[in-house]
Chain A
Amino acid sequence: MSEKDMNSKVNEMLARSEANVKNSGKKFVRPEDEEREVVAPDGSIIKVNPIYDYFSGARPEEEKPRNGIVEKFLNWARAESIWVLGFGTGCGSIEIPPLVTPRFDMFRFGVQMRPTPRQSNAFIISGYLSVKTLKRVIRTYEQMPSPKYVLALGSCTINGGMYYDSYSTINRLDHYIPVDVYIAGCMPRPEALLAGFAKLKELIKAGKAEKANEYARNFDWYKANQKKIVKDWNMPDYNW
């Protein structure tokens, strides 16, 4: 079989497969995401849209910094009290736990782990991000209160790394959520992470870590990017 034949055959098949997919009927929707009807106690029917009804979904607003010295003081406090939420899906996350060991001891820099996004102001995203995990990242990021900072840890997170050509891993995190500090490496060592924190502190103290507001400002762009790849969008446009 010559290469040409092969290519034409492939193209033909491609067309057929696409047609197949399109003709194969409705796209699968998870049962819990389907619209449903429930019967109210008084017998009336209530329509439930699970994707939007349960969520506020309001657009985020820019949160103006306070004035002058107050904001400076607060920025100092934020910088000295970085509460971290870790998000690890691959090899990257294994580099975070050493930070609490005596050798690296991030606590002395005012950095500590928090279990819930509500109480964290820094978000470490590590490892390659598939579309599936990106959804969780977006949701978690949006749930963190402003001001919030994102540390992208490792090449895969930053630009796809060795998975640059995978059908399921994203290439550039900062097209989906704003990133304050890039910690490159495959994998970065804990020292690099500590350096990242130092960098973040600098940024915060300088008042430059306002990426949360940037997200709000460019919300439509970010959302469009996110929705481009997340096909079964089953959460509101903004997760409060």
Chain B
Amino acid sequence: MNEILDKIKQKYNAEDVTIQRERLAFVTVSKNLAIDAVTWLRDYEGFSHFVMMSCVDWMEDGKFQLLYLLHNPETKIDLGVKTYIDRENSVMESAHHLWKQVWTYQRELREAFGIDFPGSPRIEENFVLEGWEDIPHMRREFNTKEYSENTYFPRPGRETYDPATYMQQKLYPNQPVTAKRKDNDK
């Protein structure tokens, strides 16, 4: 475990090494080296299985964080290679040539976050949404409620309650509210 982390640190200047569990670790490499690192892990270090690829929107920092999660079937180690890309010019080198299933992940990311992966096959195609015209819906600036209200004829008179407080009020109307509303939406 440490061995591979050392190697990747040395080779790709990996920072921010997190050992999550005994067999799960994350490293962050720079955008330019990310695909190189993944390729190297696949070809030389036995991380032949591509588990998944995902994205986190760090809106405040103006970054997208991409994660390539790899698995080594020999040593049973999972290694997540993270990288940050610019949020405004969200283009990332495509990894479709490494695993075919990357195609699909990249299509998903393109649809959900608007990250472009030039050269990735069928990247243009719809993933789950058909004919989506608004900004990518997983970007955090996208307001789903507002969109829904504007688009889908909301039923008038709908009220929304926090289940915890609502149920407490309903069941124990005489007691002070103890349940804290979790304010999720900003």
Contact = CB atoms under 8 A, between A and B. Distances in A.
B151 A228 contact: yes
Interface string B138-149: 010110110111
Interface in A157-182: 159-160, 164-172, 175
Interface residues of A, number: 36
Interface string B150-161: 011111001000
B108 to A, nearest CB: 14
A27 B126 CA distance: 10
Contacts of A16: 88
B183 interface: no
Given A14-B141, A17-B114, A17-B141, A171 B129 contact: no
Contacts of B58: none
A6 B149 CA distance: 23
Contact of A160 (B114, B130, B155, B186): B155
**What's the dominant secondary structure at chain B's contact region?**
loop
B136 A17 contact: yes
Nearest to B137: A167
A26 B176 CA distance: 57
Interface in B101-159: 114, 124-126, 128-137, 139, 141-142, 144-145, 147-149, 151-155, 158
A18 B139 CA distance: 12
Interface residues of B, number: 32
B142 A21 contact: no
Given A160-B152, A170-B153, A172-B155, 7 more contacts: A18-B134, A132-B129, A160-B155, A165-B148, A168-B128, A225-B153, A231-B133
Interface of A: 1, 6, 9-10, 13-14, 16-18, 20-21, 27-28, 30, 131-132, 135, 159-160, 164-172, 175, 225, 228-233
